[in-house]
Structures are given as C-alpha cells and as structure tokens.
Structure 1
C-alpha cells in the first residue's frame, strides 16, 4: 500500500438520501429526479456543487460479511439515490430559501421518503486521490452506523483515520467522506413526504469511493485490505451498508449551473 496522504479539501456539505414513490415504475421516478426536479435544485443560489448519486435497484450490500456488523442492506430501507449538496459558505443556505421551498413542494411528485444528513462546517473531507485526467468509472457509497456506547469524537476520529488509510492506498480515483451531526427531522420536514428515521436505523457517516472500473471495485471489496478494514471498523460501527452506484451526475460545479449534467 502507498503511504502518502493526499490533500483533503474540507467543504460544507449536506446529503439527502431519497426513496422513490412505489405507485409508479422506479425508472419513472429516477428520470423525473434527473430531469424536472434537478432543474429546481440547480437554480438554488449559494451552491458550490450539486450532484445526484444514483444507486442500483438491486443493492444487497457490497461490504463483506463481518461478525457483529449489519452489512446486508434491508429491503425496506434500501436507498434509491442521494442528493449531495455543497455550499459556497456557511451562509449559503440562507440565500436559497425561496428556491428550496419550491423543491419542498416538488418532492411529493417523485419521492416517498427523504432524509437530510448534515455535518458541521469542515467535517467533510474530499481527498485528491486521482491523477490528472483520471476519473472514476465505478463507485460505491458507504453508510456507517455508530455502535452504541461509542462516543461521537472517537467515531469521527476513526472514520477520518479510515479515510486517510484509503486515500494513501493508491487504489481510489475518488474519495469523499462526511461525518454527520445528530439527525433532526426539523431540518428537512418537507410536506407530504415521509421522514421516518428510527434511532436504530440512523447513520452517522458516509464514504463515497471511486474506482477505475467495475473490476477494480470488485477486487477491492473481495480483497484482504477490506477484511482488515472491516475488523478495525467493527468496534466502532454496528452497520456498514455499501451501495453499488450506477451514476454520479453533476448539475452545479464551481458555483455555476451547468447547461447539462456532467458524469
């Protein structure tokens, strides 16, 4: 494994896991999110970046079985996608309140459940792991649930140590991490959409991993390094849900709305 630790940017990020309505074909909802709904979100002032993370419909869990850790993703809580919002500054959310109200009203047209996971400023890490000209052709999204009895500070420290290990391994083309504040429904209490999030189902951190291709992703999850990481994570995490990402679409980049999304 490489030992160097790439530079990490610390943006102000929130992420919103999304579940599509079940009274219409899943693909209909995914297309509406990608199209009409994205236009409402992209027009919000104050965004540095807006990205949609599309997850595969069949997602049993990529993380290897680990004793005492939930790695199989339950059918009734399986996420369809995640909206990743990066703000220009800590004051940016105030700039977009009018447009955000439009997004609230449109959610019911496509989603049955939405949850907001937010972190304090500088708690996210984006690692510069790709060489110039490289971009990931396969991704995985990990959600971690803190084990009961583990203090928030110890959990955050371990997640950051895990990220530095991954960043220095030389196998990733993208690495983005978030450690969340305690979940609060009032931060995203949109109308006519469910926000149920029982305490034993909540997550406390996420990691987005990018790979050169699907074969590199498969080799990573089947390799000995992940088994070692899993054993180190087990005392801190009671659940590790690793999702197969089918697409990552960027609609706002460097503070500017794009004419068409970029992959």
Structure 2
C-alpha cells in the first residue's frame, strides 16, 4: 500500500451526523422495498429542512463479512441481524434536527411501507469525521460500510480515541478514495420510535462506531481486506472492539448535497 498522501491531505472535516440502520420488509421480494426506498421514501426524506447531506447506502444482499478473521472479535455478520441499508444524514447545525420535525413525522408514517426494523444512531456534533483521501478527479468505484461494537470494560473515551487513531492509519495508506467515521452516543429507542416498525436492539447487539471506506473498484476493495496492513490494524483494534461487521455496499446514492435537494440522486 502506498503512503504517499501528506498529513495536510488527510486532515478531517468534522460533521454532525446520524445513521439509521434499516431492514427492509421480508414479505415481498427484496428489490421491491429497496426500490421504494430510493424512490417515494427518498422524496419525503429529501424535503427535510436542515440537511447538509442525505445519502442512502444500499448493502449487498449477500454479506457474510469482509473483515479478516481476528481472534476474539466477531467478524462474521449474523444472518438474523444482517442490515439491508443505512440512511446517512449530515446536519447543517446542531439545531437542524428541530427544523425538520414536521417532515420527520411524515417519514415516520411511511416507514412501514418499506421497512420492518429501523434503528437510529446519533453522534454528538462534530464527532463525525470526513477525510479528504482522494486525489482530484478520483472517483469511488466500490465501498465498504463497517460497524464496530465496543468491547465490555473499555471506556467510551478510549474507544473513540482508538477509532480516531484507526482512521488516521487508514487515511495514510493512500489506498482509500473515501473515508468517513462516526462515533455514537448511547442508543435510545425514543429518539426514533416509529409506529408499526420494530426497534429491538439488545445491549449485546448495539454498535458504537462506523466507518465508510471507498475504493477505486471492487478489486481494490478485495485486495485491501486481504492485505497484511489490515490484518495488523485489526489486531490492534481487537482490545477495543468485540465485533467488526464489514459490509459490501452495492450503491451509495446522494439525494441532498451541500444543503440542496437534488432533482435526481447522484451515485
């Protein structure tokens, strides 16, 4: 792996973001609710005031886990908890969630048309970090979405510190074309308690951070997860994380960009 990027190029931009983990309805073919999500449901969400960005991360239907086997860490994604997609929302300010309450109520009512379970994870303002790792003109051709569970007995502050260190190491490889991180506040169901949709989230299944990694193409993604560098990073992560679920993303669709709802999503 190349380490040609300078420190100036990998300084992160801090953001206020949330992620909604989504499981689509299972009483119809998977492509039906996935299509409804990027169609009618996206229009409701995109009209919400206060968004800086709104992306849908669609995950592949088959996702056993990309992260290398690591002793003492759950890297195989349990089939019964396998996520179908994630709504990634970045706010313009700390007050933005209050501005969008009216539209959020419409989203609450529509969820049952597409999802069977939804879980909101929210980070404090400025806790999400976007790293400028791509050279000008480079594009993302493949992505991985990674969720991490803090190991019992590890302090939240130490876990967050290690996620920052991990991100810095990942940014310095020169391989990534996109790198975003989120660390989460303790999960509270009442923050996203939508009607007629499940919100079960046992304590031993909750997550505490996420990473989005972008690559030039699927071959670069596959090579990355088989590299000795990621194996070394995983060994260093093991004392802090009890689970690392790395999903293959099939699509990343942007509906709101730079505070403006787009007429058609961008890939």
TM-score (norm 1): 0.99
C-alpha separation between the residues in 1 aligned to 2:143 and 2:255?
Answer: 18
- Corresponding residue to 1:4 among 6, 21, 26: 6
**Residues 118-156 of structure 1: CA deviation (Å, up to 9, x unaligned):** 000011100000111111100000100000000000000
**What CA distance in whole angstroms lies between the structure 2 residues aligned with 1:160 and 1:184?**
24
Measured in 1, the distance between the counterparts of 2:179 and 2:266 equals 18
The equivalent residue for 1:27 is 31
Q: Deviations over 1:159-199 (max 9, x none)?
A: 00000011111000000000000000011000000000000
The runs of 5 or more residues in structure 1 that have no matched partner are none
Between the aligned partners of 1:64 and 1:128, the Cα distance in structure 2 is 25
Could you tell me which of 91, 96, 105 is aligned with 1:87?
91
Matches within 5 A, 1:189-228: 189-228=193-232
Shift of 1:18: 0.1
RMSD: 0.7
Q: How many residues align?
A: 263
* 1:229 Cα deviation after fit: 0.6
Of 166, 184, 209, 1:180 maps to: 184
Q: Which residue of 2 aligns with 1:55?
A: 59
Q: Does 1:131 align with 2:105?
A: no
For normalisation by structure 2, the TM-score amounts to 0.97
- Mapped partners of 2:239, 2:100: distance in 1: 40
Q: How far is 1:4 from its partner?
A: 3.1
| 4+ residue segments displaced more than 4 Å | none
> 1:97 — aligned with what?
101
- Runs of 5+ unmatched residues, structure 2: none
Alignment equivalent of 2:72, drawn from 68, 74, 80: 68
Deviations 1:17-68 (A, max 9, x none): 1000001111000000000000000000110000000000000000011110
Q: Distance in 1 between matches of 2:103 and 2:229?
A: 44
Matches of residues 148-167 of structure 1 in structure 2 within 5 Å? Answer: 148-167=152-171
